[in-house]
Copies of this chain bind each other. A is one copy, B any other.
Amino acid sequence: MKENLSLRLVTGVMATADAFLREGQKLFRPLGLTPAQYNVLNILAAQEGSISQRELGDHLVVDRSNVTGLLDRMETAGWVRREDDPDDRRVYRITLTAAGRKLWTRVHPHYLEIIAQVTRGLGTPAMRDCIVTLQQLEARAAQWKFPDDLDNERI
Binding site for B on A (CB under 8 A): 4-10, 12-23, 26-27, 30-31, 61, 106, 110, 112-122, 124, 126-138, 140-142, 144-147, 150-151, 153-154
Q: Which of B16, B27, B31, B141 contacts A138 (CB 8 A)?
A: B16
Q: Which of B21, B110, B131, B133 contacts A127 (CB 8 A)?
A: B133
Q: A5-B127, A30-B151, A118-B141 are in contact. Are A134 and B10 (CB under 8 A)?
A: no
**Which B residues touch A13, using CB under 8 A?**
13, 16-17, 20, 134
| A and B contact pairs by CB, cutoff 8 A, 12 listed | A5-B127, A9-B134, A10-B118, A12-B134, A15-B61, A17-B17, A22-B61, A23-B141, A30-B150, A117-B140, A119-B140, A122-B136
Q: A17-B16, A120-B140, A121-B136 are in contact. Are A130 and B127 (CB under 8 A)?
A: no
Give CA–CA (A29, B124) in the complex, Å: 40
Q: Would B12 and A14 count as touching, CB distance under 8 A?
A: no
Q: Which of B8, B120, B122 contacts A131 (CB 8 A)?
A: B8
Given contacts A6-B119, A23-B142, 8 further A-B contacts (CB under 8 A): A12-B131, A15-B134, A22-B141, A110-B150, A114-B144, A122-B133, A126-B133, A129-B133
Q: Would B30 and A137 count as touching, CB distance under 8 A?
A: no
Report the minimum CB–CB distance from A87 to chain B (whole Å). Answer: 32
Q: Would B5 and A131 count as touching, CB distance under 8 A?
A: yes
Report the minimum CB–CB distance from A124 to chain B (whole Å). Answer: 6
